[in-house]
Amino acid sequence: MENLKKNIKDMLESGEIAGFLGLIEEEGHPIPFLFTKDSLDKLDALTVPDIRYPMTDILLKIVRKYPEDTIGVMVRGCDDRALIELAKNQKILSDLIRPIGVACTKEMAEYCRCSQPYPREIHYGEKVEGVKDRSDLEKVESMDLSDRLDYWMGQFSKCIKCYGCRNICSMCFCDQCTLEDDTLILTGQAPPEIPIFHLIRAFHMAGRCIDCGLCEEACPAHIPLRSLYRKVREDMADYLGYVTGMDETERDPLEFLGSDGYEVPTKIDET
């Protein structure tokens, strides 16, 4: 931890970065905070807690106002995947971001069922192996179609339309949100029109979702949203060999055809 603090302090003092987005502990509560060279004393309160805030979402708000500054940010595996996607989508310039990587503990990795609980470069913590767990998908897949629909309609009908899943999402960076398009989804209803509300969002997550699980943590109705997004994520890998959060130079195959591939997916399940 002391090394981490020193590292950040040096970067701020040398002017390598204009700010460092991390978390401080205030009266026992971890909260996001941007360290600058004017607030170095706050580094005493720097913390790497076991709760997560949407760091790259916050980063984007700062970058939008300071597009030319270099900013450091504390990232876990999920945040780092988000950085790759944000760069792919031209929301940030990787050259202007200095990720400080934190590896998650085994407990956190298991709690999050995270397949890659570490960032590209680790500055803090010990790398642990990812968790391979698709029991949530298997649970749904074990049902027949009619039970699945009952299950999901039951889940969706709890939705209070808080938009929390979108608001907390690092990948929901659009200026205008389809979920608020009143030609598609009626406004003013809670629950919203189902299943369209949730399926539109789920489809958008194909080629976007970095499987951080913040959506599910933010859902007051406890809807297993992440399973939906994990499903499309898995499909993108199976059908199109595309996994988000891996390589900045790749492109979403649902948006871009690619220069050398006019290939048609062959593995199409027709039932």
**For residues 206 and 237, is the Cβ–Cβ distance under 8 A?**
no
CA–CA separation, 12 and 19 (whole Å)? 7
CA–CA separation, 147 and 153 (whole Å)? 10
1 binds another protein (CB under 8 A): no
Compute the half-sphere exposure of residue 87: CA atoms within 13 Å on the CB side of its CA.
Answer: 20
In the set 107, 139, 174, 187, which binds another protein (CB under 8 A)? 187
Q: How far is the CB of 61 from another protein (least distance, A)?
A: 6
CA–CA separation, 89 and 66 (whole Å)? 18
CA–CA separation, 113 and 100 (whole Å)? 22
**For residues 161 and 188, is the Cβ–Cβ distance under 8 A?**
no
**For residues 179 and 200, is the Cβ–Cβ distance under 8 A?**
yes
CA–CA separation, 168 and 159 (whole Å)? 16
Q: Which is nearer to another protein, 3 or 266 (CB)?
A: 266
Q: Which is nearer to another protein, 127 or 191 (CB)?
A: 191
CA–CA separation, 155 and 194 (whole Å)? 10
Q: How far is the CB of 79 from another protein (least distance, A)?
A: 15
60 binds another protein (CB under 8 A): no
- Residue pointed to by tokens 């929901």: 172
In the set 111, 124, 173, 239, which binds another protein (CB under 8 A)? 239
In the set 89, 193, 224, 246, which binds another protein (CB under 8 A)? 193
In the set 43, 52, 100, 102, which binds another protein (CB under 8 A)? 52
196 binds another protein (CB under 8 A): yes
CA–CA separation, 158 and 172 (whole Å)? 22
Segment near another protein (CB under 8 A), from 84-92, 103-111, 123-131, 144-152? 144-152
Residue 59 Cα distances to 45, 101, 154, 219, angstroms? 20, 15, 36, 22
Applying the rule CB under 8 A, the residues between 96 and 115 that interact with another protein are none
Segment near another protein (CB under 8 A), from 77-85, 86-94, 95-103, 196-204? 196-204
In the set 87, 128, 140, 246, which binds another protein (CB under 8 A)? 140
In the set 1, 3, 28, 68, which binds another protein (CB under 8 A)? 28
63 binds another protein (CB under 8 A): no
152 binds another protein (CB under 8 A): yes
Q: How far is the CB of 145 from another protein (least distance, A)?
A: 5
